[in-house]
Structure formats: C-alpha cells, structure tokens
Structure 1
C-alpha cells in the first residue's frame, strides 16, 4: 500500500533529521545542526503529506493514520537506535512497541 510505504520512507528521513547529530555531529554548532535537520526534514514532509492524503482518500481516518505513523516511527527509530546509536534493546522497547501495536489494532477494529 502506498500509504504505508510513504510513511516508512518519511519516518526514515525524520528519524535522521532529529537524531543524526547525536553520533558524529556533536562538534557542529547547534544553529548549523538545526538548519541541516530542517533540510533533511523537508524530504520527510514531501513524503508524509502525500501519504496522509492518499490514506485519507482511501478511507483511513485521521486517527488511524496517526497511530499507524507512530508504530512506524517506533520501528524505524528502534533500527536507528541499534545501528547508528549502538543502543541495546530492552524490555521497555518491546513493551512500548506492543502498546502502540495494540493502539493501532484498536483504531482499525471493526473496519
């Protein structure tokens, strides 16, 4: 589904925009980091806006789009945290992900 694919791609850009500077960007001035992050985030918006419009036009509610986006965000961030930030997964990650998947299931129940 194009909505899911676009949301995954947009979340990859947003995760990078928000967190890239935590490893390797510490030496850059904060105003420069902000400008670079905004430049990266531009591409996130170029994908997220169409994703939400397409999803909405195909019958998704705003709530369904938001909860789905949050599940994707956590999944993308988990991969980023492991690969880039070198942070280990803990039971808290699994619990948070499970709660969001449950929230998504509630949003789509009965449709």
Structure 2
C-alpha cells in the first residue's frame, strides 16, 4: 500500500515544523541566561533535524504540488504547530489574533489550491 503524497508531505512538514519552532523559540525559555551565540549554535543543531525532514517533504510534495502550494501548506502547518507551542510550552495567552491569522491562511489555501 502506497502512502498518499499529501500524507507523506504533510506528516514530514508537521515534524519539521515542530523542530523548527523549537529551534526558533525554545531558546527564549531554556537558554535565556546564556550568550546569544550559544543559543544560535544549539538552535542550528536542532534546525538540522528540521531540514532533514523538510527537504524530503518538499521533494515528495513537488511530485504533485506546485512550489506555491507547498509554501502555503507549510505556512498553515507552521501556525498549527506554533499556536499550541506558544500557549503550552511558552505560557503565552490565547489571542483572538490567532483565529484571524488562521482564517487568512484558509483564504490563502483556497486561492492557491483552487482549480
């Protein structure tokens, strides 16, 4: 049984976004008392795993989707990963702006994937 391209691409992009979100923002909580260059080196190490997942996701996805469609897919996934991360891990309050941003991205999905 072949796993559909959308599932392969989406799954890899979700995992890559988990790593990238943590690489970009996790140091604000965990390494806030360290020099910026230490946080940068740690973040680069974490981001390596993001690239090991993101590159194959885009290569697989590009067999059926345009680059623009892949980018919009990635942005939707990024917000889907970021909001729970911000709230649960970084202790940020929920903002109605997250809903508005999500609705704007749904509009982007509509326009980029319409026939």
Calculate the TM-score normalised by the size of structure 1. Answer: 0.95
Q: Counterparts of 2:51 and 2:42 in 1: how far apart (Å)?
A: 15
User: Is 1:77 matched up with 2:72?
Assistant: no
Offset, 1:99: 0.4
Where does residue 101 of structure 1 map in the other structure? 106
Q: Secondary structure at the match of 1:77?
A: helix
Residues of 2 paired with 1:70 and 1:12: CA distance? 13
Equivalent residue in structure 2 for 1:19, among 6, 10, 25: 25
Residue 56 of structure 1 and its aligned partner are, at CA, apart by: 0.4
Q: Which aligned runs of 4 or more in structure 1 are off by greater than 3 angstroms?
A: none
What is the DSSP-based 3-state SS (H/G/I as helix, E as strand, rest coil) of the residue aligned with 1:52?
Answer: helix
More displaced 10-residue stretch of structure 1: 6-15 or 98-107: 98-107
Q: Tell me by how many angstroms 1:24 deviates.
A: 2.8
Q: Secondary structure at the match of 2:68?
A: helix
Point out where structure 1 has 5 or more consecutive residues left out of the alignment: none
The Cα RMSD (Å) is: 0.7
Instruction: Identify the match of residue 66 of structure 1 among 71, 79, 82.
Output: 71
Aligned residues: 109
CA distance in 1, matches of 2:96, 2:78: 18
